């Protein structure tokens, strides 16, 4: 699939790798295409990065009919640029789209768009340790129509951002508050879909937690607020005793690609892994009796983010003395080494651009 490219006239200055944060700098080009319920997706094109013109009545702005993805490209030691498990993100994108009544995108076209856009802006893929090119595909409803019903037209775009760590803390352990008032998702809801509204609904809890010095909140289930779900910007896992435990994918939390990869890497090295309901009471009890060894988040943006402190209903517990745990560190190193082409890609995760 050949996608036409309109190049920028003048390239933007690129930031030094050491200056990178997360998601505030964008590359020279973006991918765009138009969708219609009856006609499918058409006019795929790579054009200069720039503003979109939207009618104020655009459905996505009113009713949040929109979905997105997050994946990364890495520059290897050999200078090859590789995408990490794009097939997983493409499949999840299409599941999110189905949940939001949006047309799916042919996986082959999606992958061609990712590869050709990254190839066009390959000079933007940073090389310093801990950096990568973050890729953000988005589809949104573009009808100008105030009926609450699925739009008939859509826009799909992909933008690119050279990034370092998502959290200001870098790889330093995060302080996390277990959220006991608001909920993120409920049974039958959109919790497993990567849709804009999930993130909008999480902002207030996050703001309140940040005022109290926490990086993020850890969400509990929306029924009894008893079982752990996810953090919103990442999935969560705990080392309790000798077991790596993480909540199962029951439809209320995001099916993280990093989550899946980290569980695989842990199993590869013989770690006992359990995907099972994890009660917050169990985690707090394990923290009190010393069997909560490690806690960490997993996500494309977050990579592996160690958790050094948990606060729940006024009780604060330290995890791993606020340091990075040995398994967290090892899994982070393994994953980064595979992504950078320093370790063999045994599972066929990397796709060269
Ligand atoms: C990601 O990890 O890619 C995410 O989408 C999480 C967050 C930045 C929204």
In tens, the pLDDT along 109-154 reads 999 999 999 999 999 999 999 999 999 999 999 999 999 999 999 9
Residue 154's CB is within 10 A of a number of other CB atoms, namely 25
Cα maximum dimension of the chain: 63
The helix-helix angle for 326-339 and 257-268 (nearest 10°) equals 110
Q: Determine whether the shortest distance from the Cβ of 300 to ligand 1 is under 6 A.
A: yes
Antiparallel, parallel or unpaired: β 243-246 and 272-275: parallel
Token pair 């277990």: residue? 178
CA-nearest residue for atom 6, ligand 1, is 233
Question: Could you tell me the pLDDT band of residue 169, with boundaries at 50, 70 and 90?
Answer: confident
For ligand 1, atom 9, the nearest C-alpha belongs to: 233
Q: Where are the beta strands (DSSP E) in 98-169?
A: 132-141, 153-163
Q: Where are any strands of DSSP class E within 49-89?
A: 66-68, 71-75, 81-84
Tell me what the mean pLDDT of segment 21-42 comes to: 96
What confidence score (pLDDT) does residue 349 get?
98
pLDDT-derived band at 302, boundaries 50, 70, 90: confident
Whether this prediction's pTM lies above 0.90 is answered by: yes
In this model, does residue 168 exceed pLDDT 90? no
Q: How far is the CA of 288 from the centre of ligand 1 (A)?
A: 31
Please give the mean pLDDT across all residues of the chain.
96
Q: Is the CB of 116 under 6 A from ligand 1?
A: no
Cβ–ligand 1 contact at 299 (below 6 Å): yes
Q: Which of 24, 300, 304 to mutate to test the pocket of ligand 1 (most atoms within 8 A of CB)?
A: 300
CA distance 140 to 59: 8
pLDDT of residue 166 exceeding 90, the answer is: no
Question: Cα angle at 323 between 321 and 329, to 5 degrees?
Answer: 135
Confidence of residue 165 (pLDDT cuts 50, 70, 90): confident
Token look-up 């607020």 returns: 225
What is the CA(285)–ligand 1 centre distance, in A? 30
């Amino acid at each position: 699939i050949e996608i036409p490219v309109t190049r920028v006239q003048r390239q933007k200055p690129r930031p030094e790798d050491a200056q990178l944060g997360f998601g505030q700098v964008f590359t020279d080009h973006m991918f765009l295409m138009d969708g219609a319920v009856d006609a499918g997706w058409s006019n795929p094109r790579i054009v200069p990065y720039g503003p979109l013109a939207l009618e104020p009545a655009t459905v996505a702005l009113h009713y949040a009919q929109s979905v997105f993805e997050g994946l990364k490209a890495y520059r290897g030691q050999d200078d090859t640029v590789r995408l990490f498990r794009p097939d997983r993100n493409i499949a999840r994108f299409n599941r999110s789209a189905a949940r939001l009544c949006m047309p799916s995108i042919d996986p082959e076209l999606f992958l061609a768009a990712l590869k050709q856009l990254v190839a066009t802006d390959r000079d933007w893929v940073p090389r310093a340790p801990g950096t990568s090119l973050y890729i953000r595909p988005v589809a949104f409803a573009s009808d100008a129509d105030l009926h609450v019903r699925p739009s008939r037209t859509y826009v799909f775009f992909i933008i690119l951002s050279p990034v370092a760590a998502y959290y200001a803390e870098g790889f330093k352990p995060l302080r996390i508050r277990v959220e006991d008032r608001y909920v993120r998702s409920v049974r039958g809801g959109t919790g497993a879909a990567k849709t804009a509204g999930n993130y909008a609904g999480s902002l207030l809890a996050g703001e309140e937690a940040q005022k109290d010095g926490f990086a993020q909140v850890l969400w509990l289930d929306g029924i009894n607020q008893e079982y752990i779900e996810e953090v919103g910007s990442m999935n969560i896992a705990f080392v309790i005793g000798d077991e790596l435990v993480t909540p199962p994918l029951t439809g209320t939390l995001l099916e993280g690609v990093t989550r899946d990869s980290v569980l695989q890497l842990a199993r590869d090295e013989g770690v006992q892994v359990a995907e099972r309901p994890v009660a917050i009471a169990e985690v707090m009890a394990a923290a009190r009796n010393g069997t909560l060894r490690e806690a960490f988040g997993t996500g494309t943006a977050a990579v592996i983010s160690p958790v050094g402190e948990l606060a729940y209903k006024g009780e604060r517990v330290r995890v791993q003395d606020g340091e990075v745990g040995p398994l967290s560190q090892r899994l982070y190193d393994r994953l980064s080494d595979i992504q950078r082409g320093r370790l063999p890609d045994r599972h066929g995760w990397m796709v060269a651009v």
